[in-house]
Chains A and B, each alone.
Chain A
Amino acid sequence: MAGKPFPWQRDELHPAARRALSVCGPLAFLGLWQLFGAAGWLGATPSPYAVARALVRLVTHGDPFLKKTLWAHAGASLLRILCGFAIAAAAGTGLGMLMGWSRVARQMLRPVVEMMRPIPPFAWIVLAILWFRMGDAPAVFIVFLGAFFPVLLNVASGMESYDRVLGEAAATLGASPLQVLFRVALPAALPHVFTGLRVGLGVAWMSLIAAEMVGVGGSGLGLLIESSKAVWDLEYAVAGMVVIGTVGLLLDLAMRGMEAHFLRWR
């Protein structure tokens, strides 16, 4: 309690209270949403009930405009996300290690990376089409761009911040530079690597709408949101948003699980 003047800053919560709170939050959110909607304060925003109805309809019949079920939309998007993210994770970790390890590489790459990082995924649509034509390839490219920079920068900063004395000690004991890189520096940077992967996966989902504006086939959650906007079936747009949020949350939980497993030495 010392130094924590307010009860909500207490370090420890009873596990039951913790569980109850994490259910109460979303329930309160849904309740307020339904209430404000019923009071007419949200204009044409669909109510949680209408969104739930659209979700059920997506599962049983598919949407009314693209005529695809929820599984088709979510599956197509998930495939694009996982492909783009896998490439970004591999490339970002590799290049990030190089940037963190070599001062020359860092000096050369930093300005390029820092310049490209803030460019919104939407701005890449035209170039993605010109380079990767239509369909899934340009979509995967846009997801890749979203996920790549967070991975790269986190890995690089992890590699920069590890205690170099450890590396020097290992070298004195006869470790080769590659052994120092993979056996000392990389494990030390692992917490940063996981942070980068988790942030990258989140940004990958955030790039999905832009990614699916490149002329993908008839399914995808981003496409679902865009086309329901066109005919003003907003409950399907919000249903698509809910699915993106849910799948994103589940993937993040999976990543946290992996992180806890690989970093159990901490």
Chain B
Amino acid sequence: MIRGSGSSSVRRMFAAFLSAALALFLLLSATGCGDDSADGPAVRLGHLRSDLHQLAFYVAKEKGFFEDEGLRVEVVGVYASGPDEMAAFQAGALDAGYVGIAPAMAAVANGRADVKALAQANLNGSALVVRRPTSIFGLEDLPGHRVAVPNPGTMQDLLLRLALASRGLSLGDLQVAYMAPPEMLSAMFSGSLDAFLAWEPFVARAEAEGLGSVMLDSRLIWEDHPCCILAVSGSFLKDRPGEAAALLRAHLKATAYINEHPDEAVRMAAEFTGLSEEVAAAAMRRITFTGDMNAQAVLEYARFLAEEGLAAIEDPAAFVRDFLVGQ
């Protein structure tokens, strides 16, 4: 008897659980449909959290440039890292996104993600920073010191290799540590990190907090190296070319706005990232905001990934032609 009533109450609970799950599913799909009812689906956009390189996104949003182009943009994801955002592209959750060119190209080459670069978001914008006070006054002083870069295969990894190669050195001459840029600041503060190569605003923050000073602006290592891009999924580009073109126009308008209104851009950058205006301004002096893709530089980066065995790219030129929209 007891057993019988026990299993029937389990059955009742199971039924209750099933109907609750079903109700939740219907509710969620109903709200999903509600979004689509207005005038076609919104453009699902992602970007990295508080990334100064991606300021054009914030300017376009705040200034209403997306609406001006008749676009309904919905920010569906704010990511901590490029690979996370590329996973969202892979999963089909994004139509467009502001992301670093390095994770985007790696995901296309190694993960066969269907993603294309619609426009550049910025060039340059990284630097080699040495701890203050320092005994490192030039690249030739780096050997034996502890130097951090974000990850193997990142643009910063390549920049460090290029800088070292210009003095006949290689990564093997240093004690390389791989860590995220925010951690580099703490490591420098604790006195255990001698130098790092990272993107803005971590360079400007290290200077503002008196932790380190810029030894080498990345544009001096590789002038106009690519950095963040506006990427779109291949299916969005194919199925909704009008909206992709509108997105590109809004992005170019926002990029031009940043360059034409530098003071307001600094103020908006501070809003977007939570940095002080002084730090934002210092960081932005090292960032080149432009929508123009530097195809030659993208090809060089593809060759680096291929030669180092970091990405499955057989023909770099063909890869870049396919990756860059309009090439």
Contacts and interface: CB of A to CB of B under 8 A. Distances in A.
Contacts of A230: 82-83, 102-103, 106, 150-154
Contacts of A43: 90-91
Contacts of B179: 213-215
Contact of A215 (B3, B193, B310): B193
Nearest to B90: A44
A230 B82 CA distance: 8
Q: How large is the interface on A (under 10, 10 to 19, 20 to 34, 35 or more residues)?
A: 20 to 34
Nearest to B3: A5
Contacts of B183: 125-126, 129, 213-215
Give chain B's interface secondary structure class: mixed
Interface stretch (B109-117, B277-285, B315-323): B109-117
Contacts of A232: 83, 86, 103, 106-107, 109-111, 113, 311
B153 A231 contact: yes
B189 interface: yes
A226 interface: yes
A215 B113 contact: no
Interface in A182-232: 213-218, 223, 226-227, 229-232
Contacts of B151: 65, 226-227, 230-231
A231 B146 CA distance: 23
Interface in B54-96: 82-83, 86, 90-91
B182 interface: yes
A129 B187 contact: yes
A262 B5 CA distance: 43
Interface in A131-154: 131, 133-135
Interface residues of B, number: 44
A229 B83 contact: yes
Contacts of B177: 134-135, 215-218
Centre residue among B7, B109, B151 by max chain A CB count within 10 A: B151
Given A44-B112, A231-B153, A134 B106 contact: no
Interface string B144-159: 0010101111100000
A220 to B, nearest CB: 10
A65 B190 contact: no
B29 interface: no
Contact of B152 (A66, A126, A131, A217): A66
B222 interface: no
B310 A231 contact: yes
Nearest to A226: B151
A92 B192 CA distance: 29
A215 B178 CA distance: 6
Contacts of B111: 44, 232, 234
Interface in A98-151: 125-126, 129-131, 133-135
B276 interface: no
A246 to B, nearest CB: 24
A134 B107 contact: no
Given A65-B310, A230-B153, A215 B148 contact: yes
B175 to A, nearest CB: 7
A223 B150 CA distance: 11
Contact of B106 (A66, A131, A214, A231): A231
A217 B175 contact: yes
Contacts of B187: 129, 133-134, 214-215
A233 B110 contact: yes
Nearest to A4: B3
A130 B109 CA distance: 38
A31 interface: no
Contact of B191 (A133, A135, A229, A234): A133
Contacts of B90: 43-44
Given A64-B309, A232-B86, A227 B152 contact: yes
9 contacts: A43-B90, A43-B91, A44-B90, A129-B183, A135-B192, A213-B183, A214-B179, A215-B177, A218-B176
